[in-house]
């Protein structure tokens, strides 16, 4: 997801988007993604549809030029680093219905670590993987193993907001750096954890930004907000509804559950209200069949969602119903070289949060190369970090939030 120049031509934007957000198509989808049922549209071929970046916006929904990140930190450094063997962990969904998001993050981190290790023979860093399936309960079972491994001095993750809330106290007590590339619930930084840092905008930024874009740019006057029951979905829906103001129609606001595949009752309520748009706050595993069932029922409202749905699996599973959907993300398009390196290494295109994971792993690597040897030292290093990455500039405030972070709007075309 590139940001290599201050401005980008439309042709270049579309070209790189095809590289960036077609990712994970080569995985064994029978294991990593739950196929929607009860929907012929969801199972239809998506053809040439892909998720394409449109514009970066601020909290008022106004366009902001992409940042120049030509000075982005290089995980290889100068090749002179020396350290004892050390590990960084990655925790997130690597199997299950939303595994694509976790795999994007893991691969981004591996790309950075492999580049570092190839350039620094005297400082070898290992990535240790921990599959939480994106489930808070599973995460609580995995967390003790992570903190009990003395070789792990920093953690990339957890990936989802719910699991982060569940295990945050464990990592906080252990003083283990928890650097997330994707957990966006705003309340996560309100727990007093001094070891937690978020590497992207939270939903208190995403919600108002996307709501303003829907109202001011897309001119939607009536929007149905539908949320799942995850911490992420609940928090995002709250921010979106607040930002939409009078455009949020309470008569068709609805709640669904993670794991649902039959949305007929919610679809009928929405159909009866004839909105301009439906905003879905949740993940692609439910978002795809929901979008398909809306289309099948004759609902013509635009489908809008956010980073939990912004994955090629949404397009694959929703089929033709995904066409023209707007998907926001605190993540930006990948730089061309990154996209090429990722494809060469993993034989699949980079996806949502691959670049953020690369940047955050690079920051941890820079800390290790600087002489950091323990968990407390790495937390302190990140707390005082100030530098460019491929996705954005990274500098954190006292709460663990980025000092500055923006949102991108994508569309399925």
Output the DSSP codes for 247-265. GB-GGG-EE--TT----HH
- Mean pLDDT over 236-248 rounds to 97
**What is the tens place of the pLDDT at every residue in 63-73?**
999 878 889 99
**What is the tens place of the pLDDT at every residue in 327-352?**
999 998 899 999 999 999 999 989 89
The full length of the chain comes to 413
CA 412 centroid distance within chain: 17
Residue 349 contacts residue 336 (beta carbons within 8 Å): no
Query: Is 8 domain-assigned?
Result: no
Query: Is 300 domain-assigned?
Result: yes
The answer to whether residues 214 and 325 belong to one domain is: yes
The answer to whether residues 246 and 306 belong to one domain is: yes
Query: Is 118 domain-assigned?
Result: yes
The answer to whether residues 386 and 245 belong to one domain is: no
The answer to whether residues 115 and 177 belong to one domain is: yes
The answer to whether residues 110 and 219 belong to one domain is: no
Residue 39: the pLDDT is: 27
The answer to whether residues 115 and 170 belong to one domain is: yes
Query: Is 401 domain-assigned?
Result: yes
**What is the tens place of the pLDDT at every residue in 74-118?**
999 999 999 999 999 999 999 999 899 999 999 999 999 999 999
The answer to whether residues 235 and 269 belong to one domain is: yes
Give the ranges where 149-283 is alpha helix by DSSP (H): 161-174, 203-212, 231-244, 264-273
pLDDT band at 179 (very low <50, low <70, confident <90, very high): very high
- Mean pLDDT over 270-288 rounds to 98
Angle between helices 99-119 and 354-369 (to 10 degrees): 40
Residue 237: the pLDDT is: 97
For residue 215, what is the DSSP state? I
How high is the mean pLDDT of the chain?
A: 89
Which distant-in-sequence residues (6+ apart) come within 8 Å of 212 by Cβ? Answer: 57, 59, 60, 61, 62, 243
Which distant-in-sequence residues (6+ apart) come within 8 Å of 48 by Cβ? Answer: none
Residue 47: the pLDDT is: 59
pLDDT exceeds 70 at position 3 = no
- Give the lowest-confidence range in 28-32, 175-179, 369-373: 28-32
- Give the lowest-confidence range in 5-9, 33-37, 290-294: 33-37
Nearest-CA neighbor of 93 among 371, 387, 353? Answer: 353
Query: Is 346 domain-assigned?
Result: yes
pLDDT band at 13 (very low <50, low <70, confident <90, very high): very low
Q: Which residues pair with 386 in a beta bridge?
A: 395
In b/e form, how buried is each residue of 45-67, taking b as 16+ CB within 10 angstroms?
Answer: ebeebbbbbbbbbebebeeeebb
pLDDT exceeds 90 at position 14 = no
Query: Is 58 domain-assigned?
Result: no
pLDDT band at 62 (very low <50, low <70, confident <90, very high): very high
Residue 139 contacts residue 132 (beta carbons within 8 Å): yes
Half-sphere exposure of 404 (CA within 13 A, CB side): 10
pLDDT band at 369 (very low <50, low <70, confident <90, very high): very high
Query: Is 55 domain-assigned?
Result: no
The answer to whether residues 251 and 278 belong to one domain is: yes
**What is the tens place of the pLDDT at every residue in 184-223?**
999 999 999 999 999 999 999 999 999 999 999 999 999 9
Nearest-CA neighbor of 315 among 342, 279, 296, 291? Answer: 291
Helix and strand totals (H; E) in the chain: 14, 14
Query: Is 70 domain-assigned?
Result: no
Residue ending a domain, choose from 306, 329, 352: 329
pLDDT exceeds 70 at position 128 = yes
pLDDT exceeds 70 at position 258 = yes
Residue ending a domain, choose from 329, 349, 364: 329
Total structural domains within the chain: 2
Residue 267 contacts residue 299 (beta carbons within 8 Å): yes
The answer to whether residues 224 and 324 belong to one domain is: yes
- Mean pLDDT over 373-385 rounds to 98
The answer to whether residues 173 and 289 belong to one domain is: no
pLDDT exceeds 90 at position 299 = yes
The answer to whether residues 233 and 296 belong to one domain is: yes
Q: Residue 240: which domain range? A: 31-48+204-329
Residue ending a domain, choose from 283, 302, 329: 329
Cα(180)–Cα(213) distance, rounded to whole angstroms?
26
Residue 332: the pLDDT is: 84
Q: What is the CATH number of the domain that holds 347?
A: 3.40.50.2300
The answer to whether residues 256 and 396 belong to one domain is: no
């Amino acid at each position: 997801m590139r940001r290599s120049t201050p401005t980008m031509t439309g042709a270049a934007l579309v070209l790189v988007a095809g590289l960036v957000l077609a990712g994970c198509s080569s995985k064994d989808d029978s294991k990593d993604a739950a196929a929607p049922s009860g929907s012929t549209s969801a199972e239809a071929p998506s053809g040439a549809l892909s998720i394409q970046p449109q514009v970066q916006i601020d909290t008022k929904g106004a366009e902001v030029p992409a940042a120049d990140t030509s000075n982005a930190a290089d995980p290889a450094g100068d090749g002179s680093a020396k350290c004892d063997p050390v590990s960084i962990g990655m925790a997130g969904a690597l199997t299950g219905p939303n595994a694509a998001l976790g795999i994007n993050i893991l691969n981004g981190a591996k790309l950075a670590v492999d580049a570092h290790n190839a350039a620094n023979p005297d400082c070898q860093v290992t990535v240790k993987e921990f599959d939480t399936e994106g489930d808070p309960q599973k995460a609580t079972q995995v967390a003790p193993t992570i903190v009990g491994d003395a070789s792990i001095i920093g953690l990339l993750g957890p990936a989802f907001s719910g699991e982060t809330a569940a295990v945050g106290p464990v990592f906080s007590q252990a003083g283990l750096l928890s650097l997330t590339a994707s957990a966006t619930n705003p309340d996560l930084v309100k727990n007093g954890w001094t070891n937690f840092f978020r590497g992207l905008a939270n939903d208190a930024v995403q919600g108002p930004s996307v709501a303003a874009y829907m109202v001011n740019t897309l001119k939607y006057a009536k929007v149905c907000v539908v949320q799942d029951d995850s911490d992420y979905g609940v928090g995002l829906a709250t921010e979106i509804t607040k930002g939409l103001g009078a455009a949020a129609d309470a008569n068709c606001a609805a709640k669904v559950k993670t794991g649902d595949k039959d949305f007929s009752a919610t679809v009928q309520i929405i159909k009866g209200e004839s909105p301009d748009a439906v905003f879905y706050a949740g993940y692609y595993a439910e978002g795809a069949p929901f979008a398909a069932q809306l289309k099948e029922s004759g609902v013509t409202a635009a489908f809008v969602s956010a980073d939990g749905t912004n994955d090629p699996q949404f397009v694959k599973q929703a089929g033709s119903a995904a066409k023209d959907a707007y998907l926001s993300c605190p993540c930006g398009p990948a730089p061309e070289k990154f996209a090429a390196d990722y494809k060469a290494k993993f034989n699949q295109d980079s996806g949502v949060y691959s670049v953020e994971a690369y940047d955050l792993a690079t920051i941890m690597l820079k800390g290790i190369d600087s002489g950091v040897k323990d968990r407390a030292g790495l937390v302190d290093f990140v707390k005082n970090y100030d530098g460019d990455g491929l996705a954005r500039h990274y500098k954190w405030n006292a709460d663990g939030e980025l000092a500055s972070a923006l949102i991108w709007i994508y569309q399925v075309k």
